[in-house]
Amino acid sequence: MKPVIFGTATLAAAAAIGLYTWQTTTTPNPCGSTSVAGSAIGGPFELVSENGETVTDADVITKPTLVYFGYTFCPDVCPLDSARNAQAAYLLEEQGIDIGTIFISVDPERDTVEVVRDFTENFHEDMIGLTGTPEQVRAASLAYKTYYRVQEGDPEYYLVDHSTQTYLVFPETGFATFFRRDTTPEQIAEITACFMGELT
Amino acid sequence: MKMNTKTLVIAALLASLSATAQAESTLTIENPKAFATPATAMSGGGFMQITNTGPTDDALIGIQADFPRVELHTTEFTDGVARMMHVDDIAIPAGETVALEPGGLHIMFMGLNGDPLEEGETIPATLIFKNAGEIAVTFDVVKRDMAHSH
């Protein structure tokens, strides 16, 4: 059975409006990116790790972390964005700054533990790949206010529409900011380092 | 879909023969490539530039390659949401170059089924154009360049 993932037009519209709202109510912050005023993004989740273990956000977000939602069947956008996030981590590593990178699958039907592990190792040896039950994935996506929807049609080669923003999340304080997909690795590294200076 | 050195040489000869056969074509295919995938990947993307030096518009209407399914795809972005979709054709207007590149138009090789795209491999394929007909191409499988990932 194909996962049914908040597939109603109403919810899709709500998600789009939500995204629009935070993009227009954002306020400048010292790190030169945008911070989101008064919206609760992020929070607890329970997913399945690359080792097949059930993990919580506290288990996997143990340092400032870039969090991205995607699916591995996508040969194009998700690898680009994941590679970009990995590259930001490598840039920071060169400066002696340690951050984490997480890829959360929104296609748990096809993205098994093994598939997600292979996918993430391809970009960064420490990138954490998470999948889960359809319910776990839906809950995590809702917490982060991301949108995804399985396109109708093919049972095997179906495509998934999904949000492409990457979140910067801190273990103690949670969500700090988000990056659109046209943000460069250098910009992400710079803004992340700035937030780490501010928040830690 | 995998080729050893010997078949590679034969493929190269065939490709050059077919290029000769297509000498009258006004389409030039440059840099057909696909990125290497992880071992368990289910799909891979193919990219290239197609230049139409002739006076007539053309369109890429299909592709054949040895995979369970191969399609022409594009990705559209709306409010930060990526929506990849199948397209029936890709217009190649007269005098223009159309790039199939990451984040936009691409070839989608589907159903890798445990046989990933590996660096150094080649993927023989046939592009089908509305006017120019069939043109053989060979995609080089390359490592994703992390330094130019955006």
Task: Give the rounded percent of residues in chain B with a pLDDT score beyond 90.
Answer: 75
- Strand partners for A160: A150
Q: What is the pLDDT of residue A115?
A: 95
- Dihedral (Cα; B45, B27, B31, B71), 10-degree rounding: 10
Q: If you measure CA to CA, which chain B residue comes closest to A12?
A: B81
- Strand partners for B37: none
Q: What is the pLDDT of residue A24?
A: 44
Mean pLDDT value across residues B87-91: 96
- Strand partners for A169: A65, A175
Q: What is the pLDDT of residue B146?
A: 62
| Out of A90, A157, A162, closest to residue B110 by CB | A157
Give B-chain residues touching A76 at CB under 8 angstroms. 45, 73, 75, 84, 102-103, 106
| Out of B108, B149, B150, closest to residue A75 by CB | B108
| Out of A16, A80, A110, closest to residue B103 by CB | A80
Whether residue B150 and residue A84 make contact (CB cut-off 8 A), yes or no, is yes
Is pLDDT of A71 > 90?
A: yes
pLDDT-derived band at A14 (thresholds 50, 70, 90) equals very low
Q: What is the pLDDT of residue A153?
A: 81
Q: What is the pLDDT of residue B142?
A: 96
Give A-chain residues touching B150 at CB under 8 angstroms. 80, 84, 182, 184-185
- How confident is the model over A136-184, as pLDDT tens digits? 999 999 999 999 999 988 888 999 999 999 999 999 899 999 999 999 9
pLDDT-derived band at A36 (thresholds 50, 70, 90) equals low
B54-66 exposure pattern, b = at least 16 Cβ within 10 A, e = fewer: beeebbbebbebe
Rounded Cα distance, A34 and A28, in Å: 5
Q: What is the pLDDT of residue B122?
A: 97
ipTM of predicted complex: 0.76
Span of A71-85, A109-123, B62-76, B134-148 with lowest mean pLDDT: B134-148
- Chain A: closest CA distance from residue B66 (Å): 16
| Out of B35, B39, B103, closest to residue A77 by CB | B103
Q: If you measure CA to CA, which chain B residue comes closest to A21?
A: B79
* B74 at A interface, C-beta within 8 A: no
Whether residue A79 and residue B69 make contact (CB cut-off 8 A), yes or no, is no
Whether residue A185 and residue B102 make contact (CB cut-off 8 A), yes or no, is no
CATH code for A8-199? 3.40.30.10
Report whether A129 contacts A105 (CB < 8 A): yes
Q: What is the pLDDT of residue A139?
A: 96
pLDDT-derived band at A31 (thresholds 50, 70, 90) equals confident
B52: amino acid identity, one letter: N
- How confident is the model over B93-125, as pLDDT tens digits? 999 999 999 989 999 999 998 899 999 999 999
Q: What is the pLDDT of residue A21?
A: 44
φ and ψ at residue A187, rounded to 5 degrees: -65, -45
Q: What is the pLDDT of residue A76?
A: 83
Size of the A and B interface in Cβ pairs below 8 Å: 104
- Dihedral (Cα; A53, A58, A62, A63), 10-degree rounding: 130
* B43 at A interface, C-beta within 8 A: yes
CATH code for B27-148? 2.60.40.1890
Q: What sign has the CA pseudo-torsion A60, A190, A92, B77?
A: positive
pLDDT greater at residue B63 or residue B16: B63
Average pLDDT value over all residues in chain A:
85
Average pLDDT value over all residues in chain B:
86
